[in-house]
Amino acid sequence: MTAAADPARAAMLARIQGALGRGAPSEEQRRRVLQRCAAPSANLIPARGRENDRIAQFIAEAERVNATTGRLAGWSAVPAAVAETLSAARLPPRLRMVDDARLASLAWPADLAVATGKAVDGDRASLAVAFAGIAETGTVMLLSSPSSPATLNFLPEMHIVILPEQAIVGAYEDAWANLRTALGAGVMPRVVNWITGPSRTADIEQTLLLGAHGPRLLHILLLAEA
């Protein structure tokens, strides 16, 4: 059914317009209201979104919510760090990772089985690259794409996320601004995931347990040189 011919749609809009004390808005009214969407602006940004040492703040906030972090000099240090992380978590040396040229070109240890693609049942660990880190809450922001399937963020037990330090911003609004710069205004990836710590639940007697349905472990590797 086309939108215009849908009686429920028409009735709902008419009731809303009646309640607002006006009829259908004129094009001019509509344009004026939607200016807010056309040129989005930030509301109040708290001071904690404007701290000087964003890296230290990001690490502190992420660790507060049970993420673990590691700092690496650059991409070349990633394979060893990932292998060590898996071994420390007693996970098998198998990894499902995003299809990223920067990762593909690395020298992965022979005993670490690396595959790309979407996550499937049985994948124990995944590796993804964050678009941004948001210091105010220690949040990593990941974008879905054909090379970065969203399932990687949720199915495995351990989620390892590479976060270039230069991608750490102070506040959520900064991340949105960077997204618009990267993809164009009004363009959204299919899924944007803000992830703040590993999966958890407190649904049984408010007992906090990690690893409810998503990853039990979230390890963030900060890269100094990206």
Residues 79 to 138: which contact other proteins by CB under 8 A? 117-119, 121, 136-137
Q: Tell me the C-alpha distance between 90 and 87, whole Å.
A: 5
Residues numbered 137-156 forming contacts with other proteins, rule: CB under 8 A: 137, 139, 144-146, 149-151, 153-155
Q: How far is the CB of 59 from other proteins (least distance, A)?
A: 15
CB contact at 8 A, 137 and 197: no
Q: Which is nearer to other proteins, 67 or 72 (CB)?
A: 67
Interface region with other proteins, contact rule CB under 8 A, candidates 29-37, 75-83, 89-97, 160-168: 29-37
Which listed residue (11, 56, 88, 182) binds other proteins by CB under 8 A?
11
- One DSSP character per residue, 10-24 reads HHHHHHHHHHTTS-S
Residues numbered 192-211 forming contacts with other proteins, rule: CB under 8 A: 192-207, 209, 211
Interface region with other proteins, contact rule CB under 8 A, candidates 72-80, 85-93, 101-109, 190-198: 190-198
Q: Tell me the C-alpha distance between 46 and 190, whole Å.
A: 28
Residues numbered 52-71 forming contacts with other proteins, rule: CB under 8 A: 61, 65
Strands 200-201 and 209-210: antiparallel
CB contact at 8 A, 98 and 147: yes
Which listed residue (21, 101, 110, 184) binds other proteins by CB under 8 A?
21
Count Cβ atoms below 10 Å from residue 17 Cβ, excluding itself: 13
Residue 47 lies near other proteins (rule: CB under 8 A) = yes
Residue 50 lies near other proteins (rule: CB under 8 A) = no
Sheet of strand 125-129: strand arrangement = 68-72, 217-223, 158-164, 125-129, 94-97, 113-116
Give the total of residues touching other proteins (CB under 8 A). 79
Which listed residue (215, 219, 220, 221) binds other proteins by CB under 8 A?
215
**107 residue type, one letter:** A
Residue 26 lies near other proteins (rule: CB under 8 A) = no
Q: Which of 226, 224, 225, 210 is nearest to 68 (CA)?
A: 210
Strands 158-164 and 217-223: parallel
Residues numbered 158-187 forming contacts with other proteins, rule: CB under 8 A: 171-173, 176, 186
Q: Which is nearer to other proteins, 111 or 186 (CB)?
A: 186
Q: Which is nearer to other proteins, 16 or 56 (CB)?
A: 16
Q: What is residue 199's three-state secondary structure? A: coil
